[in-house]
Amino acid sequence: MTELHRTDTNHVPTTATRPWRLGRRTRKAVLVTHIVSVGAWIGMDVVLAILVFTAMFTSDPHTLGVSYQALSLFAVWPLFIAGFICLLSGVALGLGTKYGLIRYWWVAVKLVLNLLLTGLVLIALRPTVIQANEQGAELINGTRTTAPVTDLIYPPIVSPLALLFAVIIAVYKPWGRTRKNKTDTRRATSSPTES
Ligand code: HEM
């Protein structure tokens, strides 16, 4: 028997078999990063919504142009980076705690949502924002008086709603484990850093 094995109880995992876990302080630091990135992401979605709805309802071409051009300041890379930091910190939290990546439904669903939303920023939002930026310049210099807003309506509705849903399931942690087994009860009552 090596010194790494605990002898007081048969149920305490040995150092050799215990999966990798984040230390308490590191876990808190990663959790802060995760929550701040979520806040930044939702905040940018709110600004996106304000600009898109301003563009939709204004009758002033200059205001429309300024709203369109302002989108390109944050709507692709800063938004993507916030989503990507959320993804990285979320994956670290999942792997570094008892929650895992696909062990609990609430984590697995957030993983899929995070991948979808960040993917959509590059695939769907980016071309639309580039086009809006060009139209914004034309609106400001007077070579154009109107521009369609249609493609821009969905991102500021779908993304904040999906993120709100992700925050709610992160806090309430519903639906339990993806695969039931007899260790459910013990794991559900242990602290996040325990195996
Ligand atoms: C879709 C975007 C996401 C949002 C809005 C979000 C939101 C949150 C929030 C608000 C918390 C804090 C909950 C609390 O302390 O009560 C949290 C914790 C957590 N998130 Fe996320 N998250 C997202 C993506 C992810 C991803 C992609 C993963 C992993 C694949 C993940 C894994 C976790 C884990 C494991 C915790 C618990 C950490 C702990 O208590 O140690 N999250 N998330």
**Ligand 1 near 107 CB (within 6 A):** yes
Terminal Cα-to-Cα distance of the chain (whole angstroms): 22
Is the shortest distance between the CB of 93 and ligand 1 below 6 Å? Answer: yes
Q: What is the pLDDT of residue 183?
A: 53
Closest residue by Cα to residue 113 from 156, 165, 76, 152: 165
Question: Environment class of residue 185 by beta-carbon count within 10 Å: exposed (0-12), middle (13-18) or buried (19+)?
Answer: exposed
Rounded to two decimals, what is the model's pTM? 0.86
Question: Would you state the pLDDT for residue 192?
Answer: 58
Query: pLDDT tens string for the chain (195 positions)?
Result: 333 333 333 344 444 566 789 999 999 999 999 999 999 999 999 999 999 999 999 999 999 999 999 999 999 999 999 999 999 999 999 999 999 999 999 999 999 999 999 999 999 999 999 999 999 999 999 998 888 877 899 999 999 999 999 999 999 999 999 986 445 444 544 555 544
Beta strands in the chain (DSSP E): none
Task: Report the nearest atom of ligand 1 relative to the CA of 166.
Answer: 5
pLDDT at 18: 65
Q: Is the CB of 167 under 6 A from ligand 1?
A: yes
Let me know how long the chain is: 195
Instruction: Tell me which residue has its CA closest to atom 32 in ligand 1.
Output: 90
For residues 195 and 188, give the distance between their C-alpha atoms in angstroms, rounded to a whole number: 10
- Ligand 1 pocket residue status of 111, Cβ below 6 Å: yes
Atom of ligand 1 nearest to the CA of 192: 41
> Minimal CA–CA distance to 21: which of 108, 111, 98?
98
